[in-house]
Amino acid sequence: MAQLLRLVSHPVTTRSLLKSCNVLPAVLGNTSYESRRQFFGKLRRVDGTDVKESEIRLPDEIEHATGLEKLLLLAEEKGIDDPFCSKPRHRGPGTKEQPNLVPSFEDKRLIGCLCEEDATHLNYMWVHMSEPKRCECGYYFKAVAA
Q: Is 21 marked within a binding site?
A: no
Distance, in Å, from the CA atom of 103 to the CA atom of 45, rounded to the nearest integer, reads: 59
Residue 85 is assigned to a ligand binding site: no
One-letter amino acid of 15: R
* Alpha-carbon 127 to chain mean position: 32
What is the Cα–Cα distance from 82 to 74, expressed in whole angstroms? 12
Strand pairing report for 133-134 and 140-145: antiparallel
135 assigned ligand-binding residue: yes
CA 126 from chain center: how many Å?
A: 32
Q: Which residues are annotated as a binding site for Zn(2+)?
A: 113, 115, 135, 137
Q: Which residues are annotated as a binding site?
A: 113, 115, 135, 137
